[in-house]
Amino acid sequence: MSLNSITVGIDRISFSTSQYYIDLRTLAENVGTCAQKYYQGLRQQKMSVTPPNEDIVTLAANAAQTIVATEPNKHIGILLLGTESSIDQSKSAGVYVHRLLGLSKYCRVVELKQACYSGTAGLLMACDFVRQNPDQSALVIATDIARYERNTPAEPTQGSGAVAMLVSANPKILEIAGTTSAYVDDVMDFWRPNYRREPLVDGKYSTNVYLDALQKCWERFKQLSELSLNDYYSLLFHVPFCKMAHKALNKLAENESVDEKKFSAFQNKIEQAIQYNTIVGNCYTASLYLSLLSLLENAEESLAKKRIGLFSYGSGCTAEFFTGVVQEGYHQYLYRDMHQKHLSERIELNYEQYVKMHDHHVNAKDNAFVPTGDYSVGSFAFVGINSHQRHYQAVDEVEYAYAG
Ligand code: CAA
């Protein structure tokens, strides 16, 4: 059997975000902006805000734990963690996650970086791994905290979250096709030097570079695949803010012959695909996959056998367009109720609480501890740093609460 004849793709997909959010109306009132600019202009309603004892490790472990618990017999041979809010220059955040999840010691673990694109790098590498090792699975986790400086244009486009995907042979949810088109260009639209907590971003320029990279990937993909716009049921895009997905669709339609009915169907699918993003906000590497999850869990009709196009963009920049076909019976393998409960039970912050959480910077110093009872988290907590080592625990195993 040739490697290309093995069907690989997303076998399970799960998501987690912080327990807190701020409504963008509250933000708008306090920074002196019209709420409609955020609600209509950016198409964002709420954004997740992370407390001090939540970070990319706890978000990632929370996202993946359901998959690991419900699929105990899958042999996970590799864990690929994509992030651009890294917590260490050397040690992979995936190693902490691996321990928290209790995975087999016989597993490769690595962290990947290329802005919002690295989750996609992980997913496509995972597919290649499974093609080579069809009896094993790969766990891919895209996890990020999108945090910008307050009182900047980027402030309403923050958020946080992690999406975990189990990649296996004969996947239950989305078969990923082999043909992809990648594009790279050395540009400075968004970056975070090692000495900074928040990234620097040239906002308007970044949206133009994103759209240009989309066009380049799309043109190349057409040459490689012979598919046209009409062959897709829906198109999903990296979602730094939800309006961007519509801008991306408009860009593709500019140079394509697509009739009004099909275009409006694409718009309608985007609405279903941004339902989660609009109340979570940007979660960088996880945003495209949160959008995929949103479509899978909120589509008004069955997606079985439908072809989806996915565009991943990471500033700096690397982008890639690829496609997947939704599998028959996929809906039985989703964790829809759990995700919707998680989202609906989040705690709303007022502006002062948001500012306090945003500005809290436990990572800045050694011997900084987070009182574990002060904030609500999922199943895992970041409890503090001592001797320059980060400490994580399962919440039900936390035996002590540090004094702040
Ligand atoms: N009612 C309705 N709409 C309004 C409005 C009102 N009262 N006031 C303004 N608007 C509309 C504007 O017309 C505009 O719409 P269009 O884009 O369709 O023209 C929209 O609201 C935004 O308004 P501005 O252009 O004035 O926005 P801004 O200058 O305040 O900043 C931003 C917008 C540049 C996206 C900024 O939020 C930002 O820098 N965000 C971070 C960077 C980013 O997300 N870039 C995306 C590409 S890079 C990437 O994708 C990687 C990543 O994840 C970061």
CA-nearest residue, atom 6 of ligand 1: 37
Q: Are 278 and 154 in contact (CB under 8 A)?
A: no
Q: Are β-strands 234-237 and 307-314 bridged in parallel, bridged antiparallel, or unpaired?
A: parallel
**Closest C-alpha to 392, from 61, 146, 155:** 61
Compute the half-sphere exposure of residue 331: CA atoms within 13 Å on the CB side of its CA: 11
Where in the sequence numbering do the catalytic residues fall? 84, 116, 238
Quick check: 373 pLDDT over 80? no
Best mutation site among 113, 201, 249, 315 for ligand 1, i.e. most ligand atoms within 8 A of its Cβ?
A: 201
Res 401: pLDDT: 40
Interatomic CA distance for residues 51 and 194, integer angstroms? 22
Query: SS3 of 223, please?
Result: helix
Atom of ligand 1 lying closest to residue 153 CA: 30
Quick check: 97 pLDDT over 50? yes
pLDDT tens, position by position, 254-266: 988 889 999 999 9
Interatomic CA distance for residues 76 and 348, integer angstroms? 37
Does 37 contact ligand 1 (Cβ within 6 A)? yes
Listed as own residue / partner, the contacts of 87-93 with beta carbons closer than 8 Å and 24 or more positions apart are 87/55, 87/56, 87/57, 87/363, 87/390, 88/390, 89/194, 93/56, 93/57, 93/60, 93/143
Does 207 contact ligand 1 (Cβ within 6 A)? yes
- Using the mean position of ligand 1's atoms as its centre, give its distance from the Cα of residue 206 in Å: 11
Res 403: pLDDT: 31
Res 6: pLDDT: 87
Binned at pLDDT 50, 70 and 90, residue 2 comes out as low
Compute the half-sphere exposure of residue 317: CA atoms within 13 Å on the CB side of its CA: 25
pLDDT tens, position by position, 267-319: 999 999 999 999 999 999 999 999 999 999 999 999 999 999 999 999 999 99
- Using the mean position of ligand 1's atoms as its centre, give its distance from the Cα of residue 278 in Å: 14
Quick check: 234 pLDDT over 90? yes
Does 288 contact ligand 1 (Cβ within 6 A)? no
Provide the 10 A C-beta neighbour count for residue 67.
22
Does 52 contact ligand 1 (Cβ within 6 A)? no
* H-run or E-run covering 254: helix 242-254
- Cis peptide bond prior to 116, omega within 30° of 0: no
CA-nearest residue, atom 13 of ligand 1: 41
Quick check: 402 pLDDT over 70? no
- Using the mean position of ligand 1's atoms as its centre, give its distance from the Cα of residue 189 in Å: 14
pLDDT tens, position by position, 62-74: 999 999 999 888 8
Does 38 contact ligand 1 (Cβ within 6 A)? no
Quick check: 139 pLDDT over 50? yes
Average pLDDT over residues 347-376: 87
CA-nearest residue, atom 14 of ligand 1: 41
- Using the mean position of ligand 1's atoms as its centre, give its distance from the Cα of residue 148 in Å: 14
Quick check: 50 pLDDT over 80? yes
**Closest C-alpha to 12, from 239, 370, 327, 368:** 327
Average pLDDT over residues 65-89: 95
Listed as own residue / partner, the contacts of 385-390 with beta carbons closer than 8 Å and 24 or more positions apart are 390/57, 390/87, 390/88, 390/96
Does 282 contact ligand 1 (Cβ within 6 A)? yes
Does 208 contact ligand 1 (Cβ within 6 A)? no
Atom of ligand 1 lying closest to residue 207 CA: 47
